[in-house]
Amino acid sequence: MVGPERGRPALSTLVGVLPGEGIGPEVIAAALDVLRAVERAGGQEVDLVLHDGPIGRAAEREHGTALPDPAVRFCDDVHARGGAVLNGPGGGRYVYDLRVRLDLFLKISPIQVRNGLADASPLRPEVVGGVDLLLVRENVGGMYQGRSAEDRSNGDRVVRHSFSYAERSVRRFLDAAARLARSRSGTLTVVTKEAGAPGVSRLWRRCAGDAAGAHGVGCTLVDVDLIAYQLVRRPTAFDVVAAPNLYGDVLGDLAAALVGSRGLSFSGNFAPAGAAVYQTNHGAAYDIAGTDRANPAGQILSLAMLLRESFGLRREAAAIEAAVQRVWADGWRTADLGTGEQVVGTRRLGELVADAVADQLGAAARAA
């Protein structure tokens, strides 16, 4: 999608890790177990550096902000050295502020049933079978990056929230989305709300048409409520779906149902020059933190995405994805999937994927 050209590994394979909070340290630990298994089985060795400071709610208590400066400096240093960041979940304004500080304007969430678990989806197998789409979200504008003010008028509390989209930012985002569409099926769907937000929708329509024309792709604009309906009715009709910040957030959680669980969803967040932060699409799940019940698959798959997109390590990424599929095929599940199979905890699922990835790479080496 956005990684090194022609499959060549990047010059640097430095991974900066922010374990996060809540279930973050648990799912990150599982992902790192898988990474170590990749290395032991002959895959590319990766240099790891860990950030040991707080983010999210813990940082709010200690520093007064969910995104303290040490975390920003850590990410900046990793990126300056040619590396990528693997991020565990953090609460509060953490992810929203991180995206603005690092200009991570483009979020790509692969919605691929082959890396999910179709039998855990609430939708019928014939609906989700073959789903392979990219949900692309504008990260640094819109409602989430607006400003709120509160006052009292005639004894009533009034909250006003204002936000904006600059044409330059919309064009930058939709140009990237159109390039992704060109590399796939050549079709782009852009999410708006024509009557509900006419001014913003007109801007997005104009910029979408220009981007599609520049890259030679087909482009359809769909209102957010309609595409939410269509995603659960006929998800295979879509390939690259580009959405403003708020719409993309809501659609991302909806699309997680197609692959079986929010615990299986993941993404990469990209700056214009390629600096990237990879994450799950779920939160810190404070209520189950420390109970060994979290599903680490989304964090493991975000690691595979990091290896492929930032470092061009396609063999290692494919082995991790195949290992996750092998674990599902063998009947292993975490509690959130609720399919009545062999239920294991966070740590054990990570071990099972690590064992399977070692088998995948070992078999490939023997066949070479």
- Quick: pLDDT tens for 234-285: 999 999 999 999 999 999 999 999 999 999 999 999 999 999 999 999 999 9
Among 242, 324, 350, 301, which Cα is nearest to 309's?
301
User: Is residue 331 within 8 Å of 341, Cβ to Cβ?
Assistant: yes
Q: What is the pLDDT of residue 2?
A: 61
For residue 295, give Cα distances in angstroms to 24, 147, 335. 11, 34, 8
What's the helix, strand, coil split of the chain in %, to 5? 50, 20, 30
Phi-psi region of 4 (alpha: psi -120 to 50; beta: other; left: phi over 0): beta
pLDDT tens by residue, 87-121: 999 999 999 999 999 999 999 999 999 999 888 89
Query: Does CATH place domain 8-110+262-368 in 3.40.718.10?
Result: yes
AA letter at 171: R
pLDDT greater at residue 272 or residue 364: 272
- Strand duo 156-162 + 218-223: pairing: unpaired
Residues identified as active-site:
144, 193, 225, 249, 253
The pTM of the whole model exceeds 0.85:
yes
What are the sequence ranges of the domains in the chain? 8-110+262-368, 122-259
How far apart, in whole angstroms, are the C-alpha atoms of residue 154 and residue 175?
Answer: 47
Q: Kindly report the CATH number that applies to the domain delimited by 122-259.
A: 3.40.718.10
DSSP secondary structure code for residue 58 in this structure: H
Please give the mean pLDDT across all residues of the chain: 94
Fold: same for 8-110+262-368 and 122-259: yes
Per-residue pLDDT tens over the stretch 193-235: 999 999 999 999 999 999 999 999 999 999 999 999 999 999 9
pLDDT band at 47 (very low <50, low <70, confident <90, very high): very high
According to DSSP, residue 67 is labeled S
Beta strands in the chain (DSSP E): 14-18, 47-50, 84-87, 106-112, 132-138, 147-153, 156-162, 187-192, 218-223, 240-243, 266-270, 276-280, 332-333, 342-343
The residue among 179, 54, 46 whose CA lies nearest residue 106 is 179
pLDDT digit string, tens, across residues 305-348: 999 999 999 999 999 999 999 999 999 999 998 766 799 999 99
Query: Could you give the CA distance from residue 171 to residue 204 in angstroms, rounded to a whole number?
Result: 8
Sign of the four-CA dihedral 274, 277, 280, 283: negative
